[in-house]
Amino acid sequence: MTHPQRFAGKTVIVTGSSGGIGEGIARRFHAEGANVVINARNAAKCAKVAETLDADRTLVVPGDVSKSDFADEIITKTVERFGGLDCLVNNAGVGGGGLLHKTDDAEIDRIIDINVKGVIYLSRAAIPHLIKSAMPGGGSIVNISSVSGIGGDSMLPIYNASKGAVTNLTRGLALQIGAKGVRVNAINPSITRSDMVDGVLSNEDTMKAFMNRVALGRIGEPEDIAAAAAFLASEDAAFITGVNLPVDGGVSASNGQPNLAG
């Protein structure tokens, strides 16, 4: 498939891009001509993805986005290598849940540190460079939130809290830096193929329950999220900011009542 070259000569960081949704997003931006920075905590997995991309347009910066020092490091290395930054995709995230009253401090910190602080730290470090972007439509941040950030899940209250924070951070930050020429949007996927949901995908009963809520009758693929991310970062979305876009097969279209259409 041939993609338009909307990002030729531009530079994009995709956190959590050693697999799943993040890898799909990185590959889509690369296919559209971008310089792409691959990131995850696992250096070997990052390198494996990079091996399949044009080395001249790829930089691997492994590390933990929940550490504020690392946010500065990845931005600095990106700008040194490619001369600037045009888009930040905050994709790195972790799942987790269960009964709140049985969840320890370490698990709470793990989810909040990566899903919330990681987005904040990377965005803070990136904004001064995104303001300088010559990208048509301006520099942009694309956050990967979740349908769990616009509604609740019975067994995921901490994850709901973390993704709800990303959802509303997207709105507030869009208002704060829009006049500086930087757009901020988010994507809210439902169940999408990745290592994070392998346990769900292999459980027939759980999958049946999920499919009862997905109007399009299938799970999402990384490419579905990648197409939306590329659109939101592109000139085609130059007048779109502060949006949380469900890419969920119709899950959020429901009010929760059963589907009686058959």
Query: Is 121 a residue of the active site?
Result: no
Identify whether the C-beta of residue 181 lies closer than 8 Å to the C-beta of residue 138. Answer: yes
The torsion angles phi and psi of 116, rounded to 5 degrees, stand at -110, -60
**What is the rounded CA–CA span in Å between residue 157 and residue 91?**
20
DSSP code per residue over 176-226 = HHGGGTEEEEEEEE-SBSSGGGHHHHT-HHHHHHHHTT-TTSS-B-HHHHH
Select which of 125, 159, 173, 177 is catalytic. 159
Q: Which residues pair with 49 in a beta bridge?
A: none
* Alpha-helix residue ranges (DSSP H) falling in the chain: 20-31, 43-50, 68-82, 105-112, 118-130, 157-177, 198-201, 204-211, 222-233
Residues marked active site are found at 159
